[in-house]
Amino acid sequence: MLAPRYFRSAPRTIDEWRRVLSAPHAMVFLDEATTTAAGEGVGRTITGAVLLRVFDTPPEPQMVPQRRGHIDGLVVAAGHRRRGIGHRLMDTAAAWAKSQGAEQLVLTVWAGNAAARAFYDSLGYGSLSEVLAKPII
C-alpha cells in the first residue's frame, strides 16, 4: 500500500457516500461496462470512478481569487486499465468542473506512485507545489 502512515484499506460506508454526494459542489462520475454471465443474463460492472469537488480559494489577501476543481480520487479497476477509462473520467470531471465555474483542476499524486504520475503527466498536469514531511517522534 502506498503511504501506509497516511492511508489504510477502509471502504467508504453508505453514509459517507451520501454525505459526499449531497455536497453542493461535489460530484462522482462512474464508468461502467456491460457484463454477461452464463445463465445470469446481462449486468453492469463499475470499471472506474472519479470524485471531485469545486472550491474557491480562501479569501486571503495574498491569494488570487479563483475557483478550482479538486480531483479527490480516481480509480480504474485493475482488469480495465489502459483502455482510456481514466482519460474519459478525467475529461468528464474537467467538463463538469468548468460548468461549475472552475478555471483549473488540481490533484495530489503521492511520492512513489510512478504510474499515477506518468498518467497525469500524459494528460498535461504539472507540478504546482511539493509537500515535505519529517517524523518528530
pLDDT tens digit sequence for 72-98: 999 999 999 999 999 999 999 999 999
Domains of the chain: 14-122 (3.40.630.30)
More confident residue, 14 or 95: 95
Rounded to 5 degrees, φ, ψ at 89 are -65, -40
pLDDT at residue 54 above 90? Answer: yes
Cα angle for residues 42, 47, 49 (degrees, 5° grid) = 130
Question: What pTM value is reported for the model?
Answer: 0.84
Q: What is the dihedral of CA 23, 26, 32, 37, to 10 degrees?
A: -30
pLDDT in tens, 17-40: 888 888 889 999 999 988 776 666
